Amino acid sequence: MRHYFLSIIIGLTASVSVTAAEWGNLTMRFVYDGAVPAAKPIEAAAVGCGKGPFVEERLLVDAKDKGVANVCVWLLRSEGDKPPPIHESYVKTAKDKVTMTNKNCRFEPRILVVRTTQTFVGANADATGHNMKADFFNPKNVGFNETIPAGGQMLPKIIANPESSGSKVECGIHRWMNGYLLVRDDPYAAVSDAHGKLTLANLPVGQWTFVVWHESGFITKARQGGKPQDWGRTGRVQIAIKPGDNDRGDFLLPPDEFP
């Protein structure tokens, strides 16, 4: 009898371990559902910033495949929620330094995902001085406003509390320069590339709510397979993550999502 119960306990433990070890990858692509907008030129005297012309980068749409860059998707966490399981692949990057660079009078990357355990560094690759200024929604986070000389960097910073959306970064010297920090306390956040594609790797299996955001605001609606998608005013979409790859395909975003 003792061996019987011991076998049950071992079996249950093994079952829990297998369940906990189930992970899935979520892939999505965001496509502009309209004529590709022309890049708007910026009138700027950019001494030491490299070659122009300089254009507005708030909305970047690929001319061939209409992919929308810099759409952010992250796993929704409400205050007080239990943290999701974290895949072991993220452990090695938990304490990394992540850098946003002033380059050719623009921020590279324009949107940077920062975990609350990581160290943020603002750098300057231009031959002229820049300023980096950021304010946060979370009152527990301290904003910064620092000048960075050519070839220099600001003091490293820990942004210890998650933010509810992207926090704007500006250069007070070159007023057209804007970027965003997306501060999260888990690694499940990603930004779409130049073709509108992103992947959230190694998510725990289960039903989850994700937030879809662009610097124009939360993405509230989309279209897929001819069917409208309503994500509400805070851009929330529920997705079931299954083991392995979960490719949700293309989501077409109407122009009025980018006022």
pLDDT digits (tens, 9 = 90+) for 237-249: 999 999 999 999 9
Q: Do strands 97-102 and 119-124 pair parallel, antiparallel, or not at all (unpaired)?
A: parallel
Residue 19 predicted with pLDDT over 90: no
Confirm if 222 and 179 have CB atoms less than 8 A apart: no
- Secondary structure letter of residue 16 according to DSSP: H
Say what the pLDDT of residue 46 is: 60
Confidence of residue 39 (pLDDT cuts 50, 70, 90): confident
Confirm if 84 and 91 have CB atoms less than 8 A apart: no
Say what the pLDDT of residue 10 is: 37
pLDDT digits (tens, 9 = 90+) for 55-105: 899 999 999 999 999 999 999 987 677 889 999 999 999 999 999 999 989
DSSP string, 238-252: EEEE-SEEEEEEEEE
Average confidence (pLDDT) over 27-45: 90
Say what the pLDDT of residue 21 is: 61
Q: What CA–CA distances, in Å, run from 91 to 17, 123, 131, 207?
A: 19, 25, 32, 23
- What is the share, in percent, of the chain residues with pLDDT greater than 70? 89
Residue 256: CA count within 13 A, CB half-sphere: 4
Report which residue type is found at 10: I
The CATH code belonging to domain 22-257 is 2.60.40.420
Residue ranges of domains in the chain:
22-257
Residues 52 and 84: their CA atoms lie apart, in Å, by: 45
Degrees, nearest 5: CA angle 216-63-45: 65
Question: What ranges make up the beta strands (E) of 12-155?
Answer: 23-32, 41-42, 54-55, 72-75, 97-102, 107-108, 111-115, 119-124, 130-134, 144-148
Say what the pLDDT of residue 195 is: 98
Residue 7 predicted with pLDDT over 80: no
Average confidence (pLDDT) over 34-56: 79
Residue 36 predicted with pLDDT over 60: yes
pLDDT digits (tens, 9 = 90+) for 188-232: 999 999 999 999 999 999 999 999 999 999 999 999 999 999 999
Confirm if 45 and 216 have CB atoms less than 8 A apart: no
Residues 238 and 236: their CA atoms lie apart, in Å, by: 7
pLDDT digits (tens, 9 = 90+) for 181-195: 999 999 999 999 999
Confidence of residue 43 (pLDDT cuts 50, 70, 90): confident
Q: Map tokens 């750098």 to a residue.
A: 123
